[in-house]
Amino acid sequence: MGMADVVGGPAGPGSEPPDPATVDLLGILAYGELSAFDRLAEDARTAPTMTGRAALSSMAAAEIGHYQLLEEHLVRLGVSVEQAMLPFVAPIDAYHASTAPRSWLESLVKAYVGDGLAADFYREVAGWLPDPTSGLVQRVLADTGHSAFAEREVQAAVAESRQVRDRLALWGRRLLGEAVTQAQHVMAERDELTAFIIGGSGDLAGIAGLLKRVQTNHGRRMVTLGLA
């Protein structure tokens, strides 16, 4: 898809069209936030307590707020948010379809660990973007303060049951594997985005190092939840 396919209007007098890799990053983030809103709103209805329902509903509200920030930024760049998101609908939907939670606790682990995987990756990549785009991405990825709720709920559950701990530990590893698989699919399809990441990280070894850091942070989150 060329820029003619994603531009939704003029970017402004004398302004240059946005870099396609930047549009890709904003598009995948926007669809990720929109999908997270849908998922969290649905998961909130399975909460065993009103407190849990309110916590996930608040997380969902934060996600749609992030989506709106990204949409507004893309509009300022002269880009249609729908067209920017379109190339990433299939891989993100495939990730969520393959990691559909079967329980309330799996929903919390996915919200805490799964979303953290994406945030770690995009937070590093944001450092290679120019401002104000870089600052916007950092703002979107900021912890909304709801992670403490997931930590408390999961920690309490695994402390009471070894069976629950083992099942959720396996679930956390599966989330990592599925996220890496879908990231590889995106990299294979989006040449300009791949070139941007290679340029930002230095080379293919830099990409490997980036993925290693993401995996390390994933391990730390698993430890925090009591799932290591």
pLDDT tens sequence across 164-208: 999 999 999 999 999 988 888 888 888 888 888 888 888 878 788
Q: Whole-prediction pTM value? A: 0.85
Q: Is 79 helix (H, G, I), strand (E, B) or coil?
A: strand
CATH architecture of 18-225: Up-down Bundle (1.20)
pLDDT band at 2 (very low <50, low <70, confident <90, very high): very low
pLDDT tens sequence across 11-28: 444 456 788 999 999 999
Radius of gyration of the chain (CA): 18
Measure the CA–CA gap between 70 and 80, rounded to whole angstroms: 11
pLDDT tens sequence across 86-135: 999 999 999 999 999 999 999 999 989 988 888 888 888 888 888 889 99
Q: Which residues contact 20 (CB under 8 A, 6 or more apart)?
A: 2, 3, 6, 192, 193
Task: Give percent of the chain with pLDDT exceeding 70.
Answer: 91
Query: Which of 169, 178, 183, 184 is closest to 221 using CA atoms?
Result: 169
Q: What is the pLDDT of residue 125?
A: 86
Write down the domain spans for the chain: 18-225
User: How high does pLDDT run on average in the chain?
Assistant: 87
Q: Do you find a cis peptide bond into 13, omega within 30 degrees of 0? A: no
Please determine, for residue 223, whether its predicted confidence score (pLDDT) is greater than 70: yes
Q: What is the pLDDT of residue 145?
A: 65
Q: How far is CA 133 from the centre of its chain?
A: 17
Q: What is the pLDDT of residue 110?
A: 92
